[in-house]
């Protein structure tokens, strides 16, 4: 049983850290940081910063809060719908993927906390927990470093493969004049991918260090 719990903790940590990082980015705070970067491209079709922030915030809120599609379909800019039908359909797909991912994250988090509690309950099994924490952090760091490197050297291919995994082909590409591209240009997704990778990598390294430290620190009774 302890062996199963150990491996569960090790292989759950990458999922928890990646999805936890994704959740941190689906916020108005991240939008404000990203949109105010000097390197972030302006909208060539006329959205100013406040319009971008307002529309993008509503978009993320629709995804995050699992709102009905009416929340986006009813948006207007000078009596013109903000999104066309293809964009609305894609946002429904995005919401489904995100909500599934967050439900998986919650389930894995709950089971991971239970596994950690069971391993730390007894002095005899605590070294197993710290070993799992150390190796889980290292596995996370290794996987994220590899994926992040691939994103850096072959971003366009990485971006296409990611969308083909989660979305039906032909449903996620849009014109440059479409609202989704104007709100979330390629630069947004490149920065988001690197930010998620950076947060998960840092989290993995910190957990690996914590597991190693608590397992080897002088004076423990293990």
Question: What string of DSSP letters covers 130-191?
Answer: HHHHHHHHHHHHHHHHHHHHHHHHSHHHHHHHHHHHHS-TTSS---TTSHHHHHS-HHHHHH
Question: Closest Cα partner for 99 from 163, 165, 19?
Answer: 19
Among all chains, which residue has been given the structure tokens 């949109």? 35
Handedness of CA 28, 33, 35, 41 (dihedral sign): negative
Q: Where are the domains of the chain?
A: 2-213
Query: Which residue spans within 8-149 are E strands per DSSP?
Result: 76-77, 80-81
Digit-coded pLDDT (tens) for 9-66: 999 999 999 999 999 999 999 999 999 999 999 999 988 999 999 999 999 999 999 9
Q: Looking at residue 27, what DSSP letter applies?
A: S
pLDDT digits (tens, 9 = 90+) for 80-107: 899 999 999 999 999 999 999 999 999 9
Q: Please state the pTM of the whole predicted model.
A: 0.91
Question: What phi, psi does 193 have (nearest 5°)?
Answer: -60, -45
Of residues 1 and 12, the one with the higher pLDDT is 12
Check: CB of residue 181 under 8 Å from CB of residue 175: yes
């Amino acid at each position: 049983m302890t062996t199963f719990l150990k491996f569960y903790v090790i292989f759950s940590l990458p999922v928890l850290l990646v999805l936890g990082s994704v959740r941190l980015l689906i916020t108005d705070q991240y939008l404000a940081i990203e949109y105010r970067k000097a390197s972030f491209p302006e909208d060539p079709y006329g959205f100013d910063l406040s319009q971008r922030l307002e529309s993008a915030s509503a978009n993320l809120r629709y995804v995050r809060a699992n709102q009905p599609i009416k929340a986006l379909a009813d948006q207007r800019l000078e009596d013109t719908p903000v999104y066309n039908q293809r964009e609305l359909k894609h946002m429904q797909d995005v919401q489904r993927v995100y909500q599934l991912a967050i439900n998986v994250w919650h389930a894995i988090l709950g089971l991971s906390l239970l596994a950690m509690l069971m391993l730390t309950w007894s002095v005899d099994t605590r070294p197993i927990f710290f070993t799992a924490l150390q190796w889980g952090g290292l596995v996370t760091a290794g996987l994220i470093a590899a994926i992040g490197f691939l994103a850096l050297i072959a971003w366009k291919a990485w971006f296409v493969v990611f969308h083909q995994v989660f979305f039906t082909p032909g449903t996620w590409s849009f014109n440059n004049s479409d609202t989704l591209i104007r709100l979330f240009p390629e630069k947004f997704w490149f920065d988001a991918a690197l930010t998620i990778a950076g947060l998960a990598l840092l989290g993995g390294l910190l957990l690996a260090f914590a597991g190693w430290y608590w397992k080897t620190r002088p004076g423990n009774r293990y």
